[in-house]
Structure 1
Amino acid sequence: MTSTADTPADRLVLEAVGFSLSTSPANSRIAIAFSGGVDSSVLLDAAVRVAGASRCIALHVHHGLSAHADAWLAHCEAFALERGVEFAAQRVEVSCDAGVSVEAAARDARYRALDGMCASRDIATLWLAQHADDQAETVLLQLLRGAGLAGLAAMAPEYLPAGASATRVRPLLHLLRAQLEQYASERALRWIDDESNADTRYARNALRHEVAPALAVHFPGFRDALARTAAHAASAQRLLDALARIDMGEASRDEGRALSHDALLALGDDRALNLMRYWMRTLGLVAASSARLGDALRQLREIGAAGEGHGLRIDHAGHALRSYRGLVYWETGDSSEPADETALAARAVSELAWQGESIWRLPQWRGTFIFVDASAAAGDSGTIPAGVLQRAVLSARSRSGGERMRTSEARNAPSRTLKNLFQERGIPAWKRDVPLLYIGDDLLFVPLLGVNRAVLPDQVDEGESRVKIIWREDLLIA
């Protein structure tokens, strides 16, 4: 569906939206991040005019940070329904890790929710309503913070973040806020004014209300100039990322979750720091300051590749940088706790009265227990008599510390702590966050370690069916 453009603002907006639509697969659905403000209201209205209501879905995230959040939700739903557009909303709780601002936490929660709503609807394109003024403010903020090239590159017109299901597209990025407001006025749109946008205690608002107007008087083309700066920075950053991917090929371990200590230290400081920044982005971690990364690299060089690195203490945004058996990795938690006994967030206990099920899905653990008929492998020490699985309720629990098990078949062999067994097998700390499988009150099975032989019967019925338990993380499920 198309619409005739009657004014310059109308024409500019529709052309920008039409261009973005032309880069999307034919007849694919488009999700619009819809806060209800003037920018996203213009984007949604124009998307309906250009693409048709049936191709659009408006996605709203309810943060609960404002007393008006419920009213905004109702407004957004009514705005979408007036245009015949499907509407979906999700409520999120904004919680801040150490060193993360409320604004950053809210932004991360919003994007996670938007991406989740897109994934559940098989939508591959998410449109965002940022514009040229937003881009200029972002570049200025990054300059004032002393950001590197990745920060100065600001917002890309189109990109697919690591781990996201939907490509994020900004159709309005080259248009000015004044042009969007002109469009909204001409179309008689109703929108929300978030009261927090006027609070100049926030750095972005101070730039918008106090700095940008003064710049516009003395440097009328400052927005275009800053947009060019962002484009130059983005080009340079792509070259650095290409170099980092080459280095990742040498240093990456465990599918990118860790780096080889040797390979990292073989690089010069600039190249090593570039690799660390790129690696953190692939892990979805908040960017660290140059000072913090520099301190991390200094400590890594001091302990040496052969060192265990237990003294390494680099905390960042709810994670701690660790070095263990030649690997460098980020571990959830504060480094003031020992690396191999980091307290894990307790998950809700799940229970199953096993009656021959082949799979037991555990969403909170992002994985599945698989029960395989192994009767033909009765001599396999990793199998369990089916009767054992039925003698009590199975439960999946978090580690609490101090758990013990016996992996040896010898009846008089001592039990050992999970901590010691994990260390002996060289299993790094980030892999130890696994569900412990209990039968009643007895520990039965630990992923990566196997069956607790202490709870198996002394006498084995050769005719009894046997089961092998396998733990599969979500990424490994076919």
Structure 2
Amino acid sequence: MTALDNRLRQALAPWRTASAWCVAFSGGLDSSVLLHLLAELARREAVPALSAIHVQHGLQPVAAAWPEHCRQFCAALGIPLQVVAVQVAAQASVEQAARQARYAAFAEHLQPDAVLFSAQHRDDQAETLLFRLLRGAGVRGLAAMPEQRPLGRGTLLRPLLDCSRAELQGYAEAHGLSWIEDPSNADTRFSRNFLRQRVMPLLAERWPQASVALARSAAHLSEAEQLLGELARMDLRAAQGEPLFPWLALPSLELSLVTQLSDARQRNLLRHWLAPLSRMPDSDHWAGWRDLREAAGDASPVWKLADGELHRADGRLYWLSADWLAPPVLPDPAVVRVQGASELPGNGQVQIRGELPAGRWHLRYRLGGESLHLPERGRRDLKRLLNEWRVPAFVRPRLPLLFDGDELMAVANLAQSASLQACGVRLHWSPPIGAQGLSW
């Protein structure tokens, strides 16, 4: 058994009880070696069911022959293969678009609790660190590729990150493996290829262990990122505070508990909090956070990010996305269901709890000038009541209002008129929750 086999077996030890093993198989050198190693292991030992998946991007004519090569390679090993064709979105970076399409396909086809093996190695890790360093990445980006991360309903694992490209090529040649040479890998117009073909060999002339050192630095930065994550989670728990409206199920934080931290810890906290919700801005665009944080107390500042908006209301931060970014539209005609919930387009659900007396009942949103007759308080202007209740500005246009003819009778979740309260009727609103995070 070779040193490569031993290192692989060590990396696989925690994953022996996975529901299945699947290899991301491009047909290139690296994934061919990984698949061959796993197939040999499966012949000697009991392991989860092993298969392979090949993603066909359709970006170059020569790639049309690659699925057949992959089928023949897998057939020789007795490994089932799935070929998935994807559409690569047109955008500035073809590499990034292809990667997004590829990993989306992997996530979609991965079984629950299965492991997808990807064949990136130490040289890839070094190139990734250098590439991101040149792009000005922070600690999270410079941690480069993690050994494992969630993917779809399973886990992505990179078991060869401690192995060099030379080791993999030596194994392939020793076992007589054939593999695909992607001609685009020689095109130095692509940044990663330029680093691999021009920069890394030059570094290795002066520092023969350059790849090892860079990969080691990535590991140190990964550890630093873990510590920053732990600090962010501690700060996040402390910054939750007590939301004024528990029924408003939006991600939110108490601003005063955030701003008592140093600027660096504020940014670390916000990156951790918002990372599952939105792509984060580069350093130059963090001025938006400073503007929101330091706006006058009676202002309603907004920080717009790629996938939503951060609002400030009554000393609290709220993340708004999806339905919250468009004005709601009532059904036409607006129908009040005495029983069960009524869907409000783009605005969650509303429900009448209790039995309404006879009347001309309907729902609508604020138009201005409404007033409500409250028990023991008499008639009050709705705008003043919303100020008194400290309802965030972005919620006010969405609050379902229940009318009997032209008379306002209830404000969802907040108040009922004296006559409805006597009947035991409540108007309950379940607001939209917004997008639940980035898929991967």
Q: TM-score, normalised to structure 1's length?
A: 0.65
Which residue number corresponds to residue 129 of structure 1?
119
Q: Which amino acid in 2 is paired with 1:191?
A: W
Which residue number corresponds to residue 266 of structure 1?
260
**Does residue 341 of structure 1 match 2:340?**
no
**Correspondence list, 1:109-258, <5 A:** 109-118=101-110, 121-160=111-150, 164-252=152-240, 257-258=251-252
Unaligned runs of 5+ in 1: 6-10, 334-338, 345-379, 390-395, 434-448, 451-468
Closer, same or farther: CA 201–472 of 1 in aligned 2, 3 Å? same
Closer, same or farther: CA 72–319 of 1 in aligned 2, 3 Å? farther
Q: Which amino acid in 1 is paired with 2:269?
A: L
CA contact (8 A) 1:27 1:55 kept: no
Q: Which amino acid in 2 is paired with 1:38?
A: L
CA contact (8 A) 2:52 2:79 kept: yes
Question: Deviation of residue 39 (structure 1)?
Answer: 0.7
CA contact (8 A) 1:63 1:94 kept: yes
Local SS of the residue matching 1:383: coil
**Does residue 21 of structure 1 match 2:12?**
yes
CA contact (8 A) 1:42 1:180 kept: yes
> What are the Cα deviations for residues 410-468 of structure 1, in whole angstroms up to 9, with x where unaligned?
744665249999x98969989x99xxxxxxxxxxxxxxx89xxxxxxxxxxxxxxxxxx
Closer, same or farther: CA 291–342 of 1 in aligned 2, 3 Å? farther
Q: Could you tell me the percent identity over the aligned residues?
A: 34
> What are the Cα deviations for residues 102-153 of structure 1, in whole angstroms up to 9, with x where unaligned?
32233233223212211xx334322110001101101111221222211221
Closer, same or farther: CA 143–470 of 1 in aligned 2, 3 Å? closer
> What are the Cα deviations for residues 280-314 of structure 1, in whole angstroms up to 9, with x where unaligned?
3333x434312223x122121133565322xx353
Local SS of the residue matching 1:160: strand
1:296 aligned residue (285, 288, 301): 288
Closer, same or farther: CA 39–257 of 1 in aligned 2, 3 Å? farther
Local SS of the residue matching 1:108: helix
Q: How many pairs align?
A: 369
Question: Deviation of residue 234 (structure 1)?
Answer: 1.4
Q: Which amino acid in 2 is paired with 1:16?
A: R
**Does residue 47 of structure 1 match 2:26?**
no
CA distance, structure 1, for counterparts of residue 66 and residue 130 of structure 2: 30
Unaligned runs of 5+ in 2: 330-335, 371-382, 399-411, 414-428
2:76 aligned residue (70, 77, 82): 82
CA contact (8 A) 1:17 1:172 kept: yes
CA distance, structure 2, for counterparts of residue 413 and residue 77 of structure 1: 66
Q: Which amino acid in 1 is paired with 2:97?
A: A
CA distance, structure 2, for counterparts of residue 92 and residue 322 of structure 1: 37
CA contact (8 A) 2:249 2:431 kept: no
**Does residue 103 of structure 1 match 2:79?**
no
Question: Deviation of residue 179 (structure 1)?
Answer: 1.6
Q: Which amino acid in 1 is paired with 2:96?
A: A
> What are the Cα deviations for residues 211-238 of structure 1, in whole angstroms up to 9, with x where unaligned?
0111111110111111221121112111
Q: Which amino acid in 1 is paired with 2:190?
A: Y
**Correspondence list, 1:260-409, <5 A:** 260-283=254-277, 285-293=278-286, 295-303=287-295, 307-309=299-301, 312-316=302-306, 318-323=307-312, 326-329=316-319, 331-332=321-322, 340-341=325-326, 382-383=338-339
Closer, same or farther: CA 382–415 of 1 in aligned 2, 3 Å? closer
CA contact (8 A) 2:303 2:311 kept: yes
Q: Which amino acid in 1 is paired with 2:131?
A: L
Q: Which amino acid in 2 is paired with 1:341?
A: A
Bigger-Rg structure (1/2): 2
CA contact (8 A) 1:406 1:415 kept: no
CA contact (8 A) 2:114 2:153 kept: yes
Question: Deviation of residue 180 (structure 1)?
Answer: 1.0
> What are the Cα deviations for residues 47-69 of structure 1, in whole angstroms up to 9, with x where unaligned?
10012497311122233333344
Closer, same or farther: CA 298–92 of 1 in aligned 2, 3 Å? same
CA contact (8 A) 2:21 2:116 kept: yes
Question: Deviation of residue 12 (structure 1)?
Answer: 3.2
CA distance, structure 1, for counterparts of residue 72 and residue 258 of structure 2: 54
CA distance, structure 2, for counterparts of residue 37 and residue 297 of structure 1: 44
CA distance, structure 2, for counterparts of residue 419 and residue 87 of structure 1: 60
Closer, same or farther: CA 215–418 of 1 in aligned 2, 3 Å? farther
1:65 aligned residue (59, 64, 67): 59
CA contact (8 A) 2:281 2:305 kept: no
CA distance, structure 1, for counterparts of residue 205 and residue 362 of structure 2: 80
> What are the Cα deviations for residues 382-424 of structure 1, in whole angstroms up to 9, with x where unaligned?
4169xxx9xxxxxx9965x9xxx99897744665249999x98
Closer, same or farther: CA 211–27 of 1 in aligned 2, 3 Å? closer
Q: Which amino acid in 1 is paired with 2:76?
A: E
Q: Which amino acid in 1 is paired with 2:135?
A: R
Question: Deviation of residue 243 (structure 1)?
Answer: 0.7
Q: TM-score, normalised to structure 2's length?
A: 0.70
Closer, same or farther: CA 110–428 of 1 in aligned 2, 3 Å? farther
Question: Deviation of residue 28 (structure 1)?
Answer: 4.8
